């Protein structure tokens, strides 16, 4: 499964009202931890890109984090540790795969995944191809997951900014994208406090693409069979003069 979203405060991976700046923090060398910046407890919160041995050592912890958060609304995802570990191992072996994790005193509290869109599954790349977009020039962010104890502190946006810096430095990508799960407003498991993340994503420079839509299927935690979940896609351009 790969469908990024940052639900509002109190839901799966909340954004603060005003995302905290990173004060020039750049992507680090593989395996080397770096602080998240003055607004996020420097010296305590660290970010690491997980590849190779570093990913293998943290695979079980990362899978557990994802299962815990993705089990919440709007994902309601019922997965298994074995599947998650296989998925993450495969992602980590992709030439352009990206896994970033945030740690608080060596405890993983958040993570973001991503890959070039032309290396993603057809359900994610085909909608862009049909819209005439060059999937080779788009980086696709998957899930952003943050533990409840660390929401509202700018961790999710900080991870995305670090990921975007990695993308810009790569030089191949003109934009970044993600897919947002669309759930009905009267969904029986929708928390009363849940709000759509539109305003938060716009603050981060992403724009909704109304002409691009898709769907992913998985089994909700309360169901016995897979059902299709509609997706709508958001894109952030890295080209000069686009306002991103």
- Percentage of the chain lying above the pLDDT 90 cut: 41
Check residue 102 and give its pLDDT: 94
Check residue 28 and give its pLDDT: 37
pLDDT digit string (tens) for 131-148?
Answer: 999 999 999 998 889 998
Check residue 83 and give its pLDDT: 87
| Averaged confidence pLDDT in the chain | 78
Residue 81 has pLDDT above 80, yes or no: yes
Check residue 4 and give its pLDDT: 43
Distance of CA 191 to CAs 72, 74, 89, 184, 202, Å?
Answer: 10, 9, 33, 12, 23
Position with higher pLDDT, 183 vs 108: 108
Going along the chain from its start, the domains and CATH numbers come out as: 46-237 (3.40.630.30)
The string of DSSP codes covering the chain is: --------TTSTTPPPSSPPP-TT--PPPTT--EE--GGG-TTTEEEEE--HHHHHHHHHHHHHHHHHHHTSTTT-B---HHHHHHHHHHHHHSTT-EEEEEEETTEEEEEEEEEEGGGS-HHHHHHHHHTT--GGGEEEEEEEEE-GGGTTSSHHHHHHHHHHHHHHHH---SEEEEEEE---TT-TT--TT---SHHHHHHTT-EEEEEEEEEEEE-BTT-SS-EEEEEEEEEEE-STTS--
Q: Which of 49-53, 76-80, 198-202 has the highest mean pLDDT?
A: 49-53
Lookup result for tokens 């919440």:
72
Say if residue 161 is preceded by a cis peptide, omega within 30 of 0: no
What is the average pLDDT across 76-105?
90
Check residue 61 and give its pLDDT: 96
Residue 75 has pLDDT above 90, yes or no: no
Tell me the backbone φ, ψ of residue 170, rounded to 5 degrees: -65, -40
pTM of this structure: 0.79
Residue 12 has pLDDT above 70, yes or no: no
Check residue 38 and give its pLDDT: 39
């Amino acid at each position: 499964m790969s469908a990024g979203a940052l639900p509002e405060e109190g839901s799966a991976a909340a954004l603060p009202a005003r995302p905290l700046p990173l004060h020039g923090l750049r992507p680090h060398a593989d395996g080397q931890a770096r602080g998240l910046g003055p607004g996020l407890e420097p010296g305590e919160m660290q970010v690491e890109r997980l590849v190779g041995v570093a990913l293998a050592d943290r695979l079980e912890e990362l899978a557990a984090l994802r299962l815990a958060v993705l089990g919440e609304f709007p994902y309601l995802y019922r997965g298994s540790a074995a599947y998650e570990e296989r998925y993450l191992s495969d992602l980590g072996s992709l030439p352009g795969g990206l896994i970033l994790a945030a740690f608080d005193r060596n405890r993983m509290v958040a993570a973001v995944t991503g890959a070039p869109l032309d290396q993603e599954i057809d359900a994610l790349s085909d909608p862009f191809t049909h819209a005439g977009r060059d999937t080779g020039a788009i980086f696709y962010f998957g899930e952003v997951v943050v533990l409840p104890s660390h929401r509202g502190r700018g961790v999710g946006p900080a991870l995305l900014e670090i990921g975007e810096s990695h993308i810009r430095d790569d030089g191949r990508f003109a934009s970044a994208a993600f897919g947002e799960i669309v759930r009905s407003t009267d969904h029986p498991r929708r928390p009363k406090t849940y709000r759509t993340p539109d305003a938060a994503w716009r603050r981060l420079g992403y724009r909704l693409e109304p002409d691009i839509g898709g769907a992913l299927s998985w089994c909700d935690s309360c169901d016995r069979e897979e059902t299709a979940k509609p997706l709508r896609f958001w894109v952030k351009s890295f080209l000069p003069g686009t306002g991103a």
